[in-house]
Amino acid sequence: MKMNGLETFVTNVTKHWSGLNTETVVAVRQLLVDLTTTPSDEAWLNEIVHERPAAKELYRDPQHGFILLAHSEEKGLYRQPHNHGAGWVFYAVYSGEIAMTTYKQITSSRGKTALVSRGSDVIAGKQCRVFLPGDIHDTHCMTEGFVQFRLTSSDFKKEIQEGRMIKFDP
C-alpha cells in the first residue's frame, strides 16, 4: 500500500533522527521541504488547508520526543522576538509567506542589554528554516492562506514552564 506524504515523512524522519547535529538538521530540513510538496488533495492536508487550524499536532514521536505540527496564521499576525530555550525548531512553509527577523542579544560596555537585528527574510512556500537552541527570532505573517509545518525537538510547553523559553520586548 502506498504511503501518503505525512506517513512518508514520519517514516523517514524517525529513520534519520539522531539528536541535534548537522546530519539531523540537513536530513530533516530536506524531508520537511519534501513534505511541503505534498498535493493538497491528500485527506490529512486537505483538512488543514480548509479548516485552517491555529495549531494541529500531526505526529509526536514516542521515542525521540519531536513533534510535527501544522499551523495556519492570519495575514498581519506578529509574534514578538523569542527563543525556544533548550529546544530547536524547523519552520517549513506550505503556502503563503512569513517574514522572520533574527536577533542577537548584545550587552554594551555600559551594561545595557538590547536585541540587535541580524536582518529579516521572507520565507515562502517550499522553504524551510531552522532555529537552534538560544536563537532569537520573530515572525510576521505576510499573506492570507498561510500554512506551515513546524517540527519541534520537544514539547515547548515544558520549555515555557521551566523558564527557558524567553519572549523579548520588541
95: which 3 cell numbers?
A: 503556502
Domains in the chain with CATH codes: 5-161 (2.60.120.10)
Instruction: Name the pTM for this structure.
Output: 0.93
Distance from CA of residue 163 to its chain's centroid? 20
* pLDDT of residue 1 exceeding 80: no
Q: At what angle do helices 5-16 and 22-35 cross, to 10 degrees?
A: 180
Report the alpha-carbon distance of residue 155 to residue 123 in Å, rounded.
24
Q: Are 84 and 156 in contact (CB under 8 A)?
A: yes
Mean per-residue pLDDT, 12-39: 97
Q: How many CA atoms lie within 13 A of 47 on its CB side?
A: 8
The H or E element that residue 150 is part of is strand 146-152
Q: What confidence score (pLDDT) does residue 2 get?
A: 81
